[in-house]
Amino acid sequence: MRKARIERKTREVEVEISIDLDGGDYEVDTGIPFFNHMLETFAEHSGVGLKLKARGDIEVDEHHTIEDVAITLGEAIKTALGDKKGIARFGDAIIPMDDAVALCGVDVSGRGYFNFEGSVGSVKSMSGENFVHFFDTLCRNAGINVYLQLKGMNAHHMMEASFKAFAIAFREAIEEGGKNIRSTKGVLD
């Protein structure tokens, strides 16, 4: 059972996440409409079940909520993956969306690292800076390595293509199909 339920509460943000890596419905409510759309896109295209509710100080800025959701989602993914035994480990995707294209590679290595090539502007309720910060924070907390290359002109299309490419690469990387840990070290950490 590759599931996890994680809660995080600070003075700025409260987050509750339940994830099922093997499927299920999704419901997302962060108080940030575009961010909801991106997280729903991730759930839809990765095939994970995701229940996520966050309440933060968005009247100040979306930063704290996006950051704490990334921390909590990363912890949930890490917990649900367990020892990672039998997973494919690697995944990749190239996703076009109108003027934009995103190329994403994922390694569920146990070592969190995010490498981003490109630049992206802001959408009404999500800055390009917080888009990059979300992925970096998610990767560090999930213990996954993600390479994301992004080109385009429309920030909405660019962000959405990125979330779709990440989702599809992630799905491929967490597919079960063996009995061993895919590492010459014998562990993924």
CATH of the domain at 156: 3.30.230.40
Contact 67, 133 (CB under 8 A): yes
Residue 182 — very low, low, confident or very high, per pLDDT cuts 50/70/90?
A: low
128 in any annotated domain:
yes
Mean pLDDT, to the nearest integer, of 108-117? 96
188 in any annotated domain:
no
Over 90: is that where the pLDDT of 187 sits?
Answer: no
162 in any annotated domain:
yes
Over 70: is that where the pLDDT of 185 sits?
Answer: no
Q: pLDDT tens digit string along 51-105? A: 999 999 999 899 999 999 999 999 999 999 998 988 999 999 999 999 999 999 9
Q: What percent of the chain clears pLDDT 90, i.e. is strictly above it?
A: 88
Which residues fall within 8 angstroms of residue 123, CB to CB, at 6 or more apart?
A: 34, 155, 156, 159
Mean pLDDT, to the nearest integer, of 23-30? 97
If you average pLDDT over every residue of the chain, what do you get? 94
Over 60: is that where the pLDDT of 46 sits?
Answer: yes
Enclosing domain of residue 56: 3-174
User: What total of structural domains would you count in the chain?
Assistant: 1
Over 80: is that where the pLDDT of 161 sits?
Answer: yes
Over 60: is that where the pLDDT of 184 sits?
Answer: no
Cα torsion 154, 157, 159, 161: sign:
negative
Does the predicted TM-score (pTM) go above 0.85? yes
Which of 68, 64, 41 has the alpha carbon at shortest distance from 170?
Answer: 41
Over 70: is that where the pLDDT of 180 sits?
Answer: no
Over 80: is that where the pLDDT of 188 sits?
Answer: no
183 in any annotated domain:
no
CA–CA gap between residue 66 and residue 68 (Å, rounded): 6
